[in-house]
Amino acid sequence: MTDRFSTRNYLRDIKLPFCAGCGDYTVINSFLRALHELGHKDLHKFVFCSGIGCAAWIPSPHFEADSIHTTHGRSIPVATGVKLVRPDLNVVVFGGDGDLVGIGLSHLIHAARRNLDITVIMVNNMVYGMTGGQVAPTTPFKAKTTTTPYGNFEHPLDATRLVATAGASYAARWTTIHITELKEAMKKALTTEGFAFIEAVSQCPTAFGRRVGLKTAADMLRWLKENSVPLKEAEKMAEEELMGKIVVGEFIQRKRQTFTDAVYGVIREAKKGA
């Protein structure tokens, strides 16, 4: 690794559109550093798919790469088509929590079940940020948002555990304060054969933090740090103790046949019989 890391090797010369203090910057940094450390000098072997929302804008059009910015929630289906036709390419999906576990949840579960060999990076800012801060399936219980002015009366979804259970080869959750762990998890995800999922719990001071008493990015990062519980510790804690906590760590790491292997296996069989 003699080459110096520079985001310029991977980004187009366009100003990034995210708010000051947005966690997306950290996610981009971690991702590109992971690529650098894996020896990818550019993105020509990558295809990025993303849906609608702030995190979906991470690759599109900012990465100097092929990127498909799809309809809301449908990045994984589009990635399915790309990956099956071109299994030689690395297909990476970026999306927010609304995109991937709100409107697009069923695709996430089924892609994990099939063990589709793509990497999905979900930036979980716990809110619909781009539309101004409405409640999301990931919003903490009792948190105030623009559509829950009396506090959220639903419980948040544990996306990483769901994906791990559904059949993914790799699933990990970290926050934007865990920059090293996040980068290392991304390296693992990118080298995993099969479905790899990373949830990056992230700060949105603009549309979420300021309504829950965390006005700055620093306040939010402190909150993420204080509320994070490593998976091993969490296993010893009671359900009530874990309310409002962010369980971080690697939830699953396993070998399973990938979807492309299975599909191309069928083609080989059928060609013999034809």
Partner 1 sequence: MISLPKKEIFMSKQMPPGTYFWQGNEACAEGAIAAGCRFFAGYPITPASEIAEHLAERLPQVGGIAIQLEDEIASLGAVIGASWAGAKAMTATSGPGFSLMQENIGYAFMTETPCVIVDIQRAGPSTGQATKCGQGDVMQARWGTHGDHAMIALSPNSVQEIYDLTIRAFNLAETYRTPVVLLADEIIAHMREETTTPPLEKIEITNRKKPKKTEKAFFGSQEIPPMPAVGEGFNVPVTGSTHNETGRRYTADPVVHRQLVERLVSKIERTTDQLIDYEGYNMNACDAGIISYGCTSRAIYEAVQLAEKRDIKVGFIRLKTIWPFADRVIQEIAQNAKVLFVPEMNLKQLFYEVKRAVEGAVPVFPINKIGGGEMITPEELMEQVVRRMQNLD
* Residues contributing to the site for partner 1 (CB under 8 A): 14, 43-45, 47, 49, 60-61, 64-71, 74, 76-89, 106-107, 110, 263, 266-267, 269-271, 273-274
**Minimal distance, residue 152 CB to partner 1, in Å:** 27
**Minimal distance, residue 48 CB to partner 1, in Å:** 9
**Minimal distance, residue 7 CB to partner 1, in Å:** 16
Between 34 and 43, CB nearer to partner 1? 43
Contact by Cβ (8 Å): 166, 112: yes
Between 75 and 203, CB nearer to partner 1? 75
**Minimal distance, residue 41 CB to partner 1, in Å:** 14
Between 20 and 266, CB nearer to partner 1? 266
HSE on the CB side for 59, CA within 13 Å? 28
**Minimal distance, residue 79 CB to partner 1, in Å:** 6
The DSSP secondary-structure symbol of 7 reads G
Between 33 and 114, CB nearer to partner 1? 114
Between 49 and 220, CB nearer to partner 1? 49
**Minimal distance, residue 53 CB to partner 1, in Å:** 12
Q: How far is Cα 105 from Cα 214, in angstroms, rounded to an integer? A: 28
Between 20 and 270, CB nearer to partner 1? 270
